[in-house]
Every structure is written in structure tokens, then in C-alpha cells.
């Protein structure tokens, strides 16, 4: 407009306005370029938290000039590997006049899963926000949101049928099975001679006895049948529902471990079932990592179709199925080959255990999981 006014009226004041605007624009360009070239941004995020806990992405920016700074615009992408969901967080930061600044951006921890963090956009502008220039950044980090652990008691109330015999051994008490050693101790006068471990006694220079193991009635499988949506269609499961199911799974596994009951936790990934043996605190942690880092199927029920093939390759007598919906036909088929207990998360009206024809059914409403659920009999 100033140029048009100058050409139309030949007024020198219009030329002055044009020159002033050109100078302002040139200064903005210089400030923007200088800020983009002299600004470095570092990121840090904690490695893990529980679902619902506060977690922040820490930004530390610094620059090598005292020139006035404009805004810094940032877009961070957080991809949940388990749920295959990506959420973007966009913020505008105003550093001010200092040479270094620290910012904290709250991250979403409402959903369990391993989350990959990447910077999608990072740019600087001049103080008047007229010019923007990109700041080079190749940050890539990650954090893991684990399910909450509930102080849960898991009594094994349904004994396996006689045809479901276990192959594992009880680590807490001795028995009569001499094929597996429970412990080695010194010989006592009342011990039978056939219990003496002669080879080891000769090495140790004294008589020692081998105590037999007690066969366990349970080879336990905790089968996680979860998907991003129900098998029969319908609205996708909310993040709170999936987190509740994972919380119940982790709590069941943890209490079985406290009872010295070794077990496997299996879940669906891709087109196969992947399991993790849980027999120590370290393997429990590894199971949790695997559970929240593997992509979840699009719908629930997929693992039930692979159960027969999986069972042919693995020996177990007790199966605990954690699911968000009950497929009665599939559960009935499973109950013919294993002692089955179904734990349905979010199933209203099943707050207490019910006796099904061929399997045990326990319904746990989501809102009561952390407040009132203290025992799940399987």
C-alpha cells in the first residue's frame, strides 16, 4: 500500500514507510536465521511409569547469542506400539531474553504400552512472528507405560481333572518322585539306604541323602485374549478397559509367582502366540515388557483360534483366560482339553465367580478393580 501511495502521489513519506517496513522485515529475517542456527534443543524423558502416573518430556534449549528470541514451535509424535496409535502434541514456547531455558511437556499415560517419541516439527521465528525457520533435530526416544499392580490373592480352587496331569514340580515341598531332586542334605539314622546319593557322598567325604520332589498338579498358562476392538464388532475398547485387563493379568501372574507357582503368560502378536515363562522376579519383568511392547491384534478372540495348535506344542493343565468378552463356544472347546478359568474384565453382573458347565467364570467390573477386588479365585 505504501508503494502504491508513493507511485500515485509521489509523496516522500510513503517511500519512508516502505523503507522502514523493508528494514523491519530484513531485521526479522536476520534474527530468525540467527536464532535457528544458534539454538540447540535437548530432550529427556523417564524410561517408565505406571498407567495414570505423571510423566513429562523435558526440553532444555540454549543459544549462543544475546539477540532477542522469538517463539519456538514444537510438534512431538508419540506412537504407542502396542495399540498402534499415534498422538501428536503441539506447543509454542516463548524463551524470552535468556540464553538457556527449560520446559516440561506433560505426556499422555492413560494407555499402557511402549511409546516411541519423535520430533515431527521444530522451528524458530523472529520476535514479531513474521518469519519462521526450521531447527534441525533428530531426537528419537521412548518410554513404557506399565499396568498397575493390584494386591490380589489368586487361590487355585478348581483342581484339574485326573486326565490333566502336570509335569512340573513343587519348589516349596518335597515328595516321593525320585526322578527329580528336591534337595541334598546330610544322612540321618532313620533314612533308608536307597536314598543315599553314593556318588556325591564319595566326593564330599560324608553320607548325603537326595530328597525327592513333589509333582505339581498345575502347569499353568495365563492366556491374554485382548484386542483393540471386540471380536463381533462394535466400538473399540477404551484405553481404561485395556489397562484394567493388563493390570489384572499382571496381578494374577505376580501372585502366582508369590506362591512359587511357575507359569507362562501368552498373548497374540502377528499370527502366532508368544509366551514368556515366569519363574522369578526378573522373568516377571521380562513378561511385562513383552506384554506391553508387542502389537495388539485388531480384535479380540484371535488367540482362541490358535489355542489347539499351541497346546499340541506345550504341556499345561491349568489355563487362566483373561479377556474382555466371553466366546462361550470357544471356551467350551478349550475346557475339554484343559482346566479353564475365564476372567472377563468389564463384564457387568459377574462380580463373583459363577460355576459354568465346563469352566469357571469370573466377571470383574472395571470400576471395582483397584478399589474392591482383593481376590480372584481361579
Kindly report the CATH number assigned to the domain that includes residue 115. Answer: 2.60.40.150
Query: 315 and 230, same structural domain?
Result: yes
Give the confidence band of 161 by pLDDT, cuts at 50, 70, 90: very low
Residue 49: what pLDDT?
A: 92
The pLDDT, as a whole number, for residue 197 is: 74
Q: Are residues 225 and 210 in the same domain?
A: no
Alpha-carbon span 375 to 378, nearest angstrom: 9
Same domain, 358 and 250: yes
Q: Which of 165, 182, 215 is the last residue of a domain?
A: 215
DSSP 150: P
SS3 229: strand
Instruction: Please report whether residue 25 resides in a domain.
Output: no
Overall domain count for the chain:
3
Query: For position 94, what pLDDT does the model report?
Result: 72
Structural domain includes residue 375: no
Find the mean pLDDT for residues 335-351: 74
CB 235 within 8 A of CB 133: no
User: 281 and 210: one domain?
Assistant: no
Q: What is the C-alpha separation between 17 and 25, in angstroms, rounded? A: 12
Q: Which structural domain range is residue 80 located in? A: 37-146
Looking at 23-112, which runs of residues are DSSP E strands?
39-45, 48-50, 56-63, 72-80, 85-93, 100-106
Given 129, 146, 163, the domain boundary residue is 146
CATH at 310: 3.40.50
Nearest to 36 by CA among 130, 129, 105, 122: 122
Instruction: Say how far apart CA 316 and CA 209 lie, in whole Å.
Output: 31
Residues with Cβ within 8 Å of residue 43, at least 6 apart in sequence: 57, 58, 59, 60, 117, 119, 139, 141
pLDDT of residue 262: 86
- Going by C-alpha positions, the residue among 362, 357, 356 that lies closest to residue 375 is 362
Indicate if the pLDDT at residue 222 is higher than 50: yes
Taking 90 as the threshold, does the pLDDT of residue 80 lie above it? yes
* Judgement on whether residues 228 and 325 belong to the same structural domain of the protein: yes
253 and 324 together in one domain: yes
Beta strands in 258-359 (DSSP E): 263-269, 272-278, 318-323, 339-345, 354-355
Write the CB contacts of 359 (distance below 8 Å, at least 6 apart in sequence).
331, 332, 334, 335, 340, 341, 342
Query: Which grid cell is 279?
Result: 519363574
Is 193 part of any domain? yes
**Cβ atoms within 10 Å of 200's Cβ, excluding its own:** 14
Sheet with 360-364, strands from edge to edge, namely 272-278, 263-269, 220-225, 318-323, 339-345, 360-364, 354-355
Q: Is residue 14 part of a domain?
A: no
Q: Looking at the structure, do residues 235 and 202 belong to the same domain, yes or no?
A: no
At 113 the pLDDT is 92
Is 292 inside a domain boundary?
yes
Q: Does 378 reside within a domain?
A: no
H or E element in which residue 258 lies: helix 239-258
Which pTM value belongs to this model? 0.71
The verdict on residue 166 lying in a domain is no
**Quick one: 355 and 225 in the same domain?**
yes
Same domain, 242 and 336: yes
- Same domain? For 238 and 210 the reply is no
b/e 241-270 (16+ beta carbons within 10 angstroms → b) = ebbbbbbbbbbbbbbbbeeebbbbbbbbbe
Q: For residues 362 and 341, is the Cβ–Cβ distance under 8 A?
A: yes
Domain assignment present for residue 123? The answer is yes
pLDDT (0 to 100) of residue 265: 93
**168/192: higher pLDDT:** 192
- 195 lies in the same domain as 90: no
pLDDT of 234 higher than 80: no
Name the band, by pLDDT with cuts 50, 70 and 90, for residue 118: confident
Q: Are residues 197 and 246 in the same domain?
A: no
Q: How many helices (H) and strands (E) does the chain have?
A: 8, 18
Report in angstroms the alpha-carbon separations of 116 from 80, 88, 135, 173, 236: 7, 12, 21, 45, 22
Boundary of a domain, candidates 215, 242, 271: 215
DSSP, collapsed to helix, strand or coil, labels residue 32 as: helix
Amino acid at each position: 500500500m505504501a508503494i502504491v501511495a508513493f507511485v500515485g502521489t509521489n509523496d516522500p513519506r510513503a517511500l519512508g514507510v516502505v523503507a522502514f517496513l523493508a528494514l523491519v522485515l530484513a531485521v526479522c529475517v536476520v534474527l530468525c536465521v540467527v536464532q535457528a542456527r544458534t539454538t540447540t534443543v535437548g530432550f529427556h524423558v523417564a524410561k517408565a511409569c505406571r498407567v495414570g502416573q505423571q510423566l513429562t518430556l523435558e526440553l532444555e534449549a540454549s543459544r549462543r547469542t544475546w539477540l532477542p528470541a522469538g517463539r519456538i514451535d514444537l510438534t512431538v509424535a508419540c506412537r504407542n506400539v502396542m495399540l498402534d496409535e499415534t498422538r501428536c502434541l503441539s506447543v509454542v514456547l516463548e524463551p524470552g531474553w535468556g540464553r538457556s531455558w527449560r520446559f516440561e511437556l506433560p505426556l499422555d499415560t492413560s494407555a499402557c504400552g511402549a511409546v516411541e517419541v519423535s520430533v515431527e516439527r521444530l522451528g524458530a521465528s523472529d520476535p514479531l512472528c513474521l518469519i519462521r525457520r526450521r531447527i534441525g533435530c533428530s531426537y528419537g526416544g521412548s518410554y513404557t507405560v506399565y499396568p498397575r499392580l493390584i494386591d490380589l490373592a489368586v487361590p487355585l480352587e478348581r483342581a484339574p481333572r485326573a486326565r490333566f496331569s502336570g509335569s512340573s514340580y513343587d519348589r516349596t515341598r518335597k515328595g516321593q518322585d525320585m526322578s527329580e531332586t528336591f534337595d541334598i542334605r546330610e544322612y540321618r539314622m532313620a533314612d533308608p539306604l536307597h536314598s543315599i546319593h553314593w556318588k556325591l557322598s564319595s566326593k564330599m567325604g560324608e553320607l548325603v541323602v537326595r530328597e525327592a520332589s513333589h509333582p505339581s498338579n498345575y502347569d499353568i498358562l495365563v492366556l491374554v485374549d485382548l484386542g483393540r476392538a471386540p471380536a463381533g464388532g462394535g466400538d473399540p475398547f477404551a484405553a481404561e478397559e485395556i489397562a484394567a485387563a493388563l493390570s489384572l493379568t499382571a496381578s494374577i501372574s505376580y501372585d502366582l509367582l508369590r506362591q512359587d507357582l511357575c507359569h507362562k503368560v501368552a498373548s497374540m502378536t502377528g499370527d502366532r502366540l508368544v509366551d514368556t515363562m515366569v519363574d522369578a522376579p526378573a522373568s516377571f519383568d521380562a513378561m511385562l515388557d513383552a506384554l506391553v511392547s508387542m502389537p495388539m491384534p485388531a480384535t479380540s478372540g484371535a488367540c482362541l483360534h490358535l489355542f489347539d495348535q499351541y497346546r499340541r506344542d506345550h504341556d499345561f493343565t491349568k489355563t487362566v483366560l483373561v479377556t474382555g468378552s466371553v466366546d462361550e463356544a470357544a471356551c467350551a472347546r478349550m475346557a475339554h482339553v484343559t482346566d479353564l478359568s475365564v476372567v472377563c474384565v468389564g463384564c457387568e453382573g459377574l462380580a463373583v465367580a459363577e460355576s459354568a458347565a465346563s469352566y469357571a467364570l469370573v466377571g470383574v467390573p472395571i470400576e471395582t478393580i483397584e478399589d474392591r477386588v482383593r481376590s480372584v479365585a481361579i
